[in-house]
Chains A and B, each alone.
Chain A
């Protein structure tokens, strides 16, 4: 395996509030190799989006990175001043967010937004920047790009807008793209097109992707490795086929069983009772123990660390060896 492009170690994100400090992301470590797609999956409130935001330096105050390090291509980026981080954002890390309409400025043509991004990050003149903008739109599968470049975001459909957002993200050929729920707002047929596009970009440009989503199906189709998050921590991480078919952590097992399938017929879905704990009431010991059908006494007071279990690493006392 190549040297990792992105290396996150022991990352913590905190939100100070009137009622004490809430830790939304707890001691998270992972790395992504060039050309690799790491899926980050979890339910609402698991901290997956915040992990992505922390990497790109977009945690809204009063939230802050309280500990840990983020290294991009051998350079530490979590402690950079605002202006230095701005240069990295867009140039070295691209971002794609869930809602393509709010990611684009409705008052500017998509061409102007693309050209602005290109001129900010690359040393190109106006006409060269425009030519690159048209090439980018063609690359993401927008036909008649030379005409469509002068249209406004509202003149594009949802799937087309998401393509424009992806074109913006790859405008300066970043090494890493953070895609936060890029297909959630889209219909299933359009979602298939966008996933294929992301995979092609990865293959053609060797771009690494951190794909944050709650949709295990999207992960199964796109990611090389997957990290499962629960209550701010990674509970299982490993190659995608192993996590899906041979998962070790009871939460991953429950999550997989609760997903309805179009192939298999089941009378009842596996049900995980209860809900993810709130940040101000994360249980001691393993955060999952109140919902875990296999919890033992030790789970109630000792928190398990990630341990190698077969091909994946899982944080569970029962999943050893």
Chain B
């Protein structure tokens, strides 16, 4: 396998969500910690797209923020392009800053991530000026025009303000800004979730073209399984701060192993399923402040046994490709996986919902 560009080793991030000091003293309430990310190990090879999926609150955006350095990890090691950004053996400040220039982030909401008082050309030019101090303004202008053309906008669009653009065009501006520091790696946090499907298709096509032309590496975070299926080479499925399954896209969608992955895939409404009843899925994600013991998925899992309730499973290499963190898969006591597998039809009625 090619040398990885980004490696996360057992990365964790805990947030202190304790009540205020006075409440703790008067009401004898304990400190509380939320494990947003709890031991994620992941490596991304140059030129590939890794998708990260999961429901709200599973920690996928926290992983993105840990990678780009918006949060410091509580534990674990992050290595990018040979430089350790966090954890044991952290590189020097200058080396880390230089390495960070190689990564950029695209955010979900193109309405909130662009300064409404800045012209688009200035938005795109800012990273260029910051990275190359003393660059001639003619050179900046040329580079901005080239970047705007690259994402399918005209050079005249640079003089406009963000409010003059539609959502899809704004997301193009965000992409142009992200590309302006010539990164090798883009962290995309739900880049198309705020867009309509036809505009989403434009942005996804653009991202794929740019990847081919510029040799970019993507970490693509989304809650939409169909989008991840389309764009990613490998997919990691997260549940309550952990990766429960990580596999090549084709393997994951053709034969999902972890019961949670099976459940997610069965829940996706698909156009070809017209008329068929969708698999019912029981339960909701538990409160991350008080996660279940053992495997966090066991209260919703139809295959859970005593071992699952007591012991947290770790990611193990799966014979069919990829990695799975599940005792039942490990012990080979799961029925053969299939997207439409009736074995995951949990009960059938939605009355069995846990509170």
Interfacial residues, chain A to chain B (CB-CB below 8 A): 43-44, 138, 141-144, 148, 157-160, 187-193, 195-197, 200, 214-218, 220-221, 240-241, 244-245, 254-263, 265-273, 275-276
A232 to nearest B CB, angstroms?
16
Chain A residues with CB below 8 A from B317, complex form: none
Interface centre among A193, A214, A256, A273 (most CB of B within 10 A): A193
Q: What CA separation (Å) do A158 and B278 show in the bound complex?
A: 20
Q: Contacting B230 at CB < 8 Å: which of A192, A216, A255, A269?
A: A269
Interface residues of B, count at CB 8 A? 54
Contact A260 B278 (CB under 8 A): no
B 259-309 contacts with A by CB, 8 A: 263-275, 277-281, 284-285
Q: Contacting A255 at CB < 8 Å: which of B198, B223, B274, B280?
A: B198
Sample of 14 further A-B pairs with CB below 8 A, known A44-B167, A142-B353, A192-B281: A138-B351, A144-B355, A188-B267, A189-B264, A192-B266, A192-B267, A192-B280, A195-B278, A259-B226, A260-B229, A263-B339, A267-B208, A271-B202, A272-B201
B336 to nearest A CB, angstroms?
18
Per-residue CB contact flags for chain B residues 235-262 toward chain A (1 = under 8 Å, else 0) read 0000000000000001001000000000
B 53-78 contacts with A by CB, 8 A: 55-56
Closest to B300 in A: A189
**A144-B355, A273-B202 known; A187 vs B230 contact (CB < 8 Å):** no
Contact B201 A189 (CB under 8 A): no
Contact B196 A188 (CB under 8 A): no
**A144-B355, A188-B267, A271-B201 known; A193 vs B273 contact (CB < 8 Å):** no
Chain B residues with CB below 8 A from A255, complex form: 197-198
Closest to A291 in B: B198
Q: Contacting B198 at CB < 8 Å: which of A43, A158, A217, A268?
A: A43
Chain A residues with CB below 8 A from B231, complex form: 260
Per-residue CB contact flags for chain B residues 197-211 toward chain A (1 = under 8 Å, else 0) read 111111011001000
Closest to A241 in B: B274
A12 to nearest B CB, angstroms?
24
Q: What CA separation (Å) do A190 and B208 show in the bound complex?
A: 31
Decide if B227 is an interface residue (CB 8 Å cutoff).
yes
Contact A193 B350 (CB under 8 A): yes
Closest to A257 in B: B201
Closest to A45 in B: B196
**A262-B229, A275-B168 known; A196 vs B198 contact (CB < 8 Å):** no
Decide if B90 is an interface residue (CB 8 Å cutoff).
no
Interface centre among A43, A142, A200, A263 (most CB of B within 10 A): A263
Decide if B225 is an interface residue (CB 8 Å cutoff).
yes
Q: Contacting A191 at CB < 8 Å: which of B168, B267, B270, B285?
A: B267
**A260-B230, A270-B201 known; A188 vs B273 contact (CB < 8 Å):** no
Q: What CA separation (Å) do A267 and B207 show in the bound complex?
A: 12
Q: Contacting B196 at CB < 8 Å: which of A44, A141, A218, A265?
A: A44
Q: What CA separation (Å) do A258 and B264 show in the bound complex?
A: 22
A216 to nearest B CB, angstroms?
6
**A187-B223, A192-B269, A193-B280 known; A258 vs B353 contact (CB < 8 Å):** no
Q: What CA separation (Å) do A280 and B349 show in the bound complex?
A: 48
Q: What CA separation (Å) do A214 and B278 show in the bound complex?
A: 19
Contact B200 A258 (CB under 8 A): yes
Q: Contacting B350 at CB < 8 Å: which of A157, A197, A259, A263?
A: A197
